[in-house]
A and B are shown apart, each in its own frame.
Chain A
């Protein structure tokens, strides 16, 4: 059937099968999925009837629409179950769903209703709720209960001392017969393990095929993770270049400037040598200042050392427009997020100084419910338009690489509000 359960079928034909944990996992799987299907069936019926009744007064319509999403949690549970019982090899941790390109419930709903996977999962949920669970419970019931009763014959007789009623079919008085029945029960249990496992494997193959990401979905998952790797690699490269310049060129230049400074002390005052040395000294100092700005532009050390708020405060210090900075963060954020946030803020400040005509600006950042929000507000003339190529598109790209979204409100006459939202979780810090 499917490659995902090939391992289980191979196990079935091995002599060691009965001693392995596989029959028990198969029984557990059918028991869990059957019970869940039964519960789902009840829940669906109750909800559908309620929604149908309420549809008359329109309240039921959103409920019916929400019912279409019932496949999402159910599929997530099924995928978890598949991973837990290890019956299907190729079930990935991430489901087939995409991450919405912008935060918020409306965007999430729009995406989910459009995704093919949502409807596939709904179909599977309906199948599980109305077709599969009776089969599963009957199979697991027969395979466990019948041998179970037989095995219990001897212990029950010994406990009762008089008679035991086996499978409600016949009464046994003799311990010898009871012992034989118990033995038969053990054999039956072993024999039942085969069809039980086969049914479980079939059920797993069906669930795995329907619920695992396929085709385009698989590729999007790969693209997302390869983009994340690229961002990390880029970030690491930035740091390496910054480190090399700091430890190499910058150190040597400082040493050179110092040597020139010392040489000037030795030169005859007002001589030609003194003026040439002074000239060289000036140039060395210039280069040092330029290199310092360049290194800071590549990767500001304060971002690594003190995090986003301090780095933004320092970017604000650099701005010709007075900027007020306020952050409310509980801890450090992932390096890629800090970096994207910082560079977006610093580009926003550059834009603001160049184009806005603002007299003051404010940066406000906070983290709530898995979302870092940074706002840059100014009292300038407004009318900023991404289409005019004022660097706003580049800024949006910076934020997009970490799954963030940039929104801009800039009516003519101002004020301009630039808002970044980046999903992330703070890192617990020791300090």
Chain B
């Protein structure tokens, strides 16, 4: 894992977890330039130390509701390209959809806090979001797969699997490995998905994000 060192602003009100995350990210060569405990401080920290990525909790003081999520959306309204990874205790589609709808729809992630414990995968997700990727927690994706929604009705089971992996933020190569398929087969599936979801050719990464958004049914 030789991802470039990232400058990170971290917002998490639990001290234990905050310190743990700082240590964890440092171990992989990233630098947490500011670690704060509430949404106000997050806004200030992003202004003072322009980061490569913001990692924030959903629930934070003072209201102990979705302050972190709203701060993330507000930050992306001001700087649409700012990569933000939101950590949450909730497997809820509406939170993920709200976040993905913000800014340009690129460089966003919504992960359950449980995912931090899979240390390497977590750090890979941080790098993916910082690089402009989209990452949605596998648990949220899994739940949505159980539902049949109109635009997805037309997808074959295999195509739905591929779309789920795209939503998890995997690259084509990673999808090949996960499903034991050839690169060409994955490419064909993705082409079919984009066609069936009425996403005409445009800038490549953007269409993938739109497909994920369609998938979340925001």
Contacts and interface: CB of A to CB of B under 8 A. Distances in A.
A350 interface: no
A59 B94 CA distance: 57
Given A314-B92, A317-B93, A257 B117 contact: yes
A284 B116 CA distance: 12
A262 B14 CA distance: 19
Nearest to A264: B119
A185 B100 CA distance: 83
Given A262-B119, A322-B147, A246 B17 contact: no
23 contacts: A246-B59, A251-B17, A254-B17, A254-B116, A258-B24, A258-B116, A261-B116, A265-B120, A292-B91, A292-B112, A292-B114, A295-B89, A300-B90, A302-B94, A304-B65, A305-B65, A305-B66, A310-B94, A313-B94, A316-B147, A317-B143, A322-B147, A322-B148
A173 interface: no
Interface in B77-117: 89-95, 112-114, 116-117
B2 interface: no
A258 B89 contact: no
B92 A261 contact: no
Given A246-B89, A251-B16, 16 more contacts: A247-B14, A250-B113, A254-B114, A255-B17, A257-B117, A258-B17, A258-B20, A258-B116, A258-B117, A262-B27, A288-B113, A292-B90, A300-B92, A301-B65, A322-B147, A323-B147
A318 interface: yes
A214 to B, nearest CB: 46
A120 interface: no
Given A250-B89, A313-B94, A261 B147 contact: no
A306 B94 contact: yes
B59 A285 contact: no
A305 B143 CA distance: 21
Interface of B: 14, 16-17, 20-21, 23-24, 27, 59, 64-66, 89-95, 112-114, 116-120, 143-144, 146-148
A285 B192 CA distance: 36
A322 B147 CA distance: 5
Question: Closest 7 A-B residue pairs measured CB to CB?
Answer: A257-B117, A261-B117, A261-B119, A251-B14, A305-B66, A310-B94, A255-B16
Contact of A301 (B14, B90, B119): B90
Interface in A249-298: 250-252, 254-255, 257-262, 264-265, 281, 284-285, 288-289, 292, 295-296
Interface of A: 243, 246-247, 250-252, 254-255, 257-262, 264-265, 281, 284-285, 288-289, 292, 295-296, 300-302, 304-306, 310, 313-314, 316-318, 320, 322-323
A292 B89 contact: yes
Nearest to B14: A251
B94 A314 contact: yes
Contacts of B148: 322
Contacts of B64: 243
A262 B92 contact: no
Given A252-B16, A262-B27, A314-B94, A301 B117 contact: no
A143 B26 CA distance: 92
B14 A257 contact: no
Contact of A302 (B90, B113, B119, B120): B90
A313 B92 CA distance: 9
Contacts of B114: 254, 257, 285, 288-289, 292
A301 B64 CA distance: 10
A257 B90 contact: no
A250 to B, nearest CB: 6
Contact of A320 (B21, B89, B146): B146
B119 A258 contact: yes
B101 to A, nearest CB: 14
Nearest to A255: B16
Contact of A257 (B65, B89, B116): B116
A314 B93 contact: yes
